[in-house]
Structure 1
Amino acid sequence: MLSRLGLPKGWRMVSTGTQSFKSDNLIKNLFLKKIKEYESKMASREDGLVGVTPETQRSLDDQLQRLASKYHLESKEVVNELPVKQLETPSVESAVAVLFEGKTVNDLNKQLEKEIQQYTEIRRKKKAVEEETRSLLAKQQQPASEKPKK
């Protein structure tokens, strides 16, 4: 159909690509709009809670009151003013990075090739020694069998 109209075959791919680009922009714009709405709602509330139902607000107040009574504080408002200890974020090291010890994959491949060459060289030498001992044993057994018996 496209060839009859004289349009190149890639035209359809270009048009579908622009449609998906437009839909990506719509989704991105909608997402940004929702974030801005949420930010404005959060700024308008004095406690910073957005979309709180009366039940969740009562539950929060009850928990704050319990904490205040447990730690012998004056009121639940004092609980909000308590200093919060900032925990350190633990440093996590990748097991793969530790195993590689800062080496790249190319370095490891070169090292592996070198080890393979060393191993094959050792095996070749061992086989040569084995062949030599076999030939020596064969030579030693031949003269013993050739000796005439008296």
Structure 2
Amino acid sequence: MAVDSEDRIIHSGAEWLQRAYGDKFPPSHEVHVENARLGNQQYYIDSFFLNLKRLPLVGVIIIPRKYIMGKVDERAFKTLVILISASFGILVIGCVCIFILTNGVSKEMKLRAELISHLDARRRAEASSNYKSQFLANMR
């Protein structure tokens, strides 16, 4: 029995399968696990059924994930770091651009508001001057 093995990985793999499936092993006796943690490493666990004439067997293959996916996992991590950094950079650049664009619009809006208030004050002054002229004309 694999549970009785002296090899640490075989023993750990057998215990992991026992915990995961117990007595309810899949009907096909096939298990495909990509991230089984045995000790401090991750492993692939694959099983297959051998139906020999007098002795049906279930074979189990345990392969350290780093041997198969080590470079892929490393590149995936680097890619993730690059994507997060690029996203953060784009966010910062976008915020700066929005600030620059809205700052220019804000200045233009302030200038327009000042111009409108000056024009309004000028109209009131002209209207007041016209009323005053009419009043004085009527008094003569």
TM-score for the superposition, normalised by structure 2: 0.39
TM-score for the superposition, normalised by structure 1: 0.37
> Whose strand proportion is higher, 1 or 2?
2
